[in-house]
Amino acid sequence: MRLATMVEADRSIRAAADTGDGWRALPATDLSGWFASGARLEPGELLNDAEPTLPLPRPHKVICCGLNYGDHILEMGRELPSYPTLFAKFADTLTGPIDDIVLPRGLQVDWEAELAVVVGAELRRATADEARAGIAGYTVANDISVRDWQNRTLQWLQGKAWDASTPVGPVVVSPDAVDPAAGVDVVCRINGVERQRGDTSRLVFDSAALLAYVSAFTVLRPGDLVLTGTPGGVGQGLRPPTFLTDGDVLETEITGIGRLRNVIRLTD
Amino acid sequence: MRLATMVEADRSIRAAADTGDGWRALPATDLSGWFASGARLEPGELLNDAEPTLPLPRPHKVICCGLNYGDHILEMGRELPSYPTLFAKFADTLTGPIDDIVLPRGLQVDWEAELAVVVGAELRRATADEARAGIAGYTVANDISVRDWQNRTLQWLQGKAWDASTPVGPVVVSPDAVDPAAGVDVVCRINGVERQRGDTSRLVFDSAALLAYVSAFTVLRPGDLVLTGTPGGVGQGLRPPTFLTDGDVLETEITGIGRLRNVIRLTD
């Protein structure tokens, strides 16, 4: 099954599900509202002329794991971790699957293609098995990072939480239709040139492990997002370091889930 | 003026304001709702038998500054910063001014008394003057930190965001009634023994500077919280390092604002 928040031709938005016969409306304006209202799967009328937008515009929590692929850890000059490195984004940080990413000119804007996990159950001190059963699905994200701000201090938040900088979507694919633990490719292309290709079976902490770990200190609820980290190939790791420029086309794709396509707009 | 979320004798909660003649109801169930609905100051009936609870139970953002008093920076072994060190908490991280703080036994639970700023306007790329004008008031917080988890990785979130661990309140005092830039005392006592005493005039980044800095990358909205950092005297800085134990009484007080009193409960 696939879930999405769809924009219709009249610009109204609707939560929707595709169980095999096309996108049908769910009784909520978006997937955040649908998860909050109990996530009952009662698809209604078919949606025509509708396109996916940001699937989860109002998550309570967006938690990200850094340094979770061996190759990316090595390119950033660090050692393999015993614990997941976690930081937060805000709901405001997210943007849609085909939206421009608008940031001030002069920043070191870097790419980080990532698998994102959508929480489907309330998880508190969950075991890995409970966490796995509490996964509603998977989507695609790019953890766009403003490196100069990220590196100003010890804490990364100010480089990771620029408003409307992290594209997410286009759809949420249920665990019966995609299995990241078995390995799917996470790919980032800039202007058509492949910059990252990771295999989710190589994650140090897989989706269920991350959800269980987080749930030890804070509750996760349906509609929350956990980003699982990025593979090697980010701009900061290139020699010389390379960052996004105005007009760059950023594509982020995961096999079996879908593709984001965002144009970078750097403004004065 | 003082603002609060009050618990009445029948356990119902109400936003309330005290403009000099006692606590009067505002048209919202709590201050988060009152700020979201426009924060119109139209006090209604007097509230009797009511006590302050967590003033802002549903902020969109809780952003914290670390390493912001010179003495605390030195005790943690770091240098004076050029930029504020920022990290996030969640709404779930907060708890009320007299609530027990319940955490699993065996953690290194440390205290961090802090001035908290309540945002009163929408701030985007604000100047310091705009940020200062956008401060709704000040309250008291204790940025309880689970040091062993905080120090597991480079990012502090997992030590800073345990559910219901950060007491906030009891009231929000408006800027015309308290001026932290001129200096108020931030005090932490454990079982009656003073452990921290800081002067907010010594902050490296004051309230307006912090709000302006944050608003460069993410919008702040009425009802959001920014914690300004803690002065010297935390448990990790003692020789030997000392942490909270079951039954400890934690008092956090700021001159002219009020006092939190929370009992630590460490459970199996």
pLDDT digits (tens, 9 = 90+) for B133-170: 999 999 999 999 999 999 999 999 999 999 999 999 99
| Closest to B84 in 3D by CA, of B240, B206, B191, B198 | B206
Q: Which of B93, B158, B217 sits opposite A161 (nearest CB)?
A: B217
Q: Which residue of A has its CA nearest to B80?
A: A153
Is residue B167 in some structural domain? Answer: yes
Residue A59 pLDDT class (50, 70, 90 cuts): very high
Is residue B133 in some structural domain? Answer: yes
Q: Which of B66, B158, B218 sits opposite A155 (nearest CB)?
A: B66
Q: Which of A157, A160, A211, A220 to mutate to test the interface with B (most CBs of B within 10 A)?
A: A157
The CA R_g of chain A, rounded to the nearest whole Å, is 17
Q: Which of A85, A88, A157 sits opposite B153 (nearest CB)?
A: A85
| Residue B152 C-alpha, separation from nearest chain A C-alpha, in angstroms | 7
Show the CA angle centred on residue B231, arms to residues B226 and B234, nearest 5°: 110
Q: Which residues of A touch B145 (CB under 8 A)?
A: none
* Mean pLDDT in residue range A31-50: 94
Residues A35 and A122 in one domain: no
Q: Are strands A94-95 and A166-173 parallel, antiparallel or unpaired?
A: parallel
Average pLDDT score, chain A: 96
| Closest to B72 in 3D by CA, of B139, B131, B137, B143 | B143
Structure tokens that stand for B125 in this block: 């790329």
Residues A19 and A123 in one domain: no
Residues A24 and A118 in one domain: no
| Residue B88 C-alpha, separation from nearest chain A C-alpha, in angstroms | 6
Structure tokens that stand for A27 in this block: 């009784």
Q: Is pLDDT of A71 > 80?
A: no
pLDDT at A167: 98
Residue B36 pLDDT class (50, 70, 90 cuts): very high
HSE-CB for A126 with a 13 A CA cutoff? 27
Structure-token match 């003649």, residue found: B21
Q: Is pLDDT of A128 > 80?
A: yes
| Residue B133 C-alpha, separation from nearest chain A C-alpha, in angstroms | 22
Q: Is pLDDT of A130 > 80?
A: yes
Q: Is pLDDT of B70 > 90?
A: no
Q: How many domains does chain B have?
A: 2
Q: Is the peptide bond before A231 cis (omega within 30 degrees of 0)?
A: no
Q: Which residues of A touch B152 (CB under 8 A)?
A: 82-83
Residues A91 and A42 in one domain: no
Is residue B57 in some structural domain? Answer: no
pLDDT at B80: 84
How far is it, in rounded angstroms, from Cα A174 to Cα A130?
A: 16
Say whether A85 and B154 touch across the interface (CB within 8 A). Answer: yes
| Closest to A249 in 3D by CA, of A260, A258, A262, A259 | A262
DSSP track, B134-174: TEEEEEEEE--EEHHHHTTSS--HHHH--TT-EEEEEEEE-
How far is it, in rounded angstroms, from Cα A108 to Cα A123?
A: 36
ipTM above 0.90, yes or no: yes
Q: Mind listing the pLDDT tens digit for each residue in B47-61?
A: 989 999 999 999 999
Give the dihedral sign, CA A62/A144/A147/B207.
Answer: negative
| Closest to B139 in 3D by CA, of B44, B29, B249, B52 | B52
Residues A45 and A66 in one domain: no
Q: Are strands A249-254 and A185-190 parallel, antiparallel or unpaired?
A: antiparallel
Say whether B217 and A88 touch across the interface (CB within 8 A). Answer: no
pLDDT at A79: 82
Contact B144, B162 (CB under 8 A): yes
Check residues A268 and B173 and name the one with the higher pLDDT: B173
Q: Which residues of A touch B87 (CB under 8 A)?
A: 87-88, 155, 157
* Cβ contacts from A onto B, under 8 A: 90
Q: Which residues of B touch A149 (CB under 8 A)?
A: 217
Q: Mind listing the pLDDT tens digit for each residue in A193-206?
A: 999 999 999 999 99
Is residue B135 in some structural domain? Answer: yes
Q: Is pLDDT of A80 > 90?
A: no
Torsion angle, alpha carbons of A41, A47, A52, A58, to 10: -50
Residues A135 and A250 in one domain: yes
- Could you tell me what percent of chain B has a pLDDT over 70? 100
* Mean pLDDT in residue range A123-152: 98
Q: Which of B83, B90, B158 sits opposite A61 (nearest CB)?
A: B90
Instruction: For residue A27, give its domain range.
Output: 2-53
Query: Which secondary structure element, helix H or strand E, spans residue A209, and what is its range?
Result: helix A207-215
B interface with A, Cβ–Cβ < 8 A, is: 60-61, 63, 66, 81-88, 90-93, 146, 149, 152-158, 161-163, 214, 217-219
The domain that contains A260 carries what CATH number? 3.90.850.10
Check residues B78 and B117 and name the one with the higher pLDDT: B117
Q: Which residues of B touch A61 (CB under 8 A)?
A: 90, 92
Q: Which residue of A has its CA nearest to B148?
A: A83
At A95, is the secondary structure helix, strand, or coil?
Answer: strand
φ, ψ dihedrals at B6, nearest 5°: -110, 140
Structure tokens that stand for A164 in this block: 């409307």
* Mean pLDDT in residue range A63-87: 88
Chain-centroid distance, C-alpha B172: 10
Residue B214 burial (C-beta neighbours within 10 Å; 0-12, 13-18, 19+): buried
Residues A100 and A226 in one domain: yes
* Mean pLDDT in residue range B233-245: 96
* Mean pLDDT in residue range B115-136: 98
Any idea what DSSP says for residue B106?
T
**Sequence letter at residue A145:** S
pLDDT at B77: 81
Residues A169 and A234 in one domain: yes
Is residue B224 in some structural domain? Answer: yes
Say whether B218 and A92 touch across the interface (CB within 8 A). Answer: yes
pLDDT at A152: 97
Q: Which of B85, B92, B153 sits opposite A219 (nearest CB)?
A: B92
Residues B129 and B182 in one domain: yes
DSSP track, A153-216: SS--HHHH--TT-EEEEEEEE-TTT--GGG--EEEEEETTEEEEEEEGGGBSS-HHHHHHHHHT
Say whether B60 and A92 touch across the interface (CB within 8 A). Answer: yes
* Sequence-distant (≥ 6) Cβ neighbours of residue A38 within 8 angstroms: none
pLDDT at A221: 98
| Closest to B24 in 3D by CA, of B4, B45, B39, B5 | B45
| Closest to A172 in 3D by CA, of A29, A1, A3 | A3
Residues A23 and A73 in one domain: no
Is residue B138 in some structural domain? Answer: yes
Residue B15 pLDDT class (50, 70, 90 cuts): very high
A interface with B, Cβ–Cβ < 8 A, is: 60-61, 63, 66, 81-88, 90-93, 146, 149, 152-158, 161-163, 214, 217-219
Q: Which of B155, B165, B220 to mutate to test the interface with A (most CBs of A within 10 A)?
A: B155
Q: Is pLDDT of B75 > 80?
A: no
φ, ψ dihedrals at A255, nearest 5°: -55, 130
Residues B240 and B161 in one domain: yes
* Mean pLDDT in residue range A133-160: 98
Residues A89 and A220 in one domain: yes
Q: Is pLDDT of B122 > 80?
A: yes
Average pLDDT score, chain B: 96
Q: Which of B107, B154, B160, B224 to mutate to test the interface with A (most CBs of A within 10 A)?
A: B154
Is residue B162 in some structural domain? Answer: yes
Residue A124 pLDDT class (50, 70, 90 cuts): very high
Say whether A217 and B158 touch across the interface (CB within 8 A). Answer: yes
Say whether B157 and A63 touch across the interface (CB within 8 A). Answer: yes
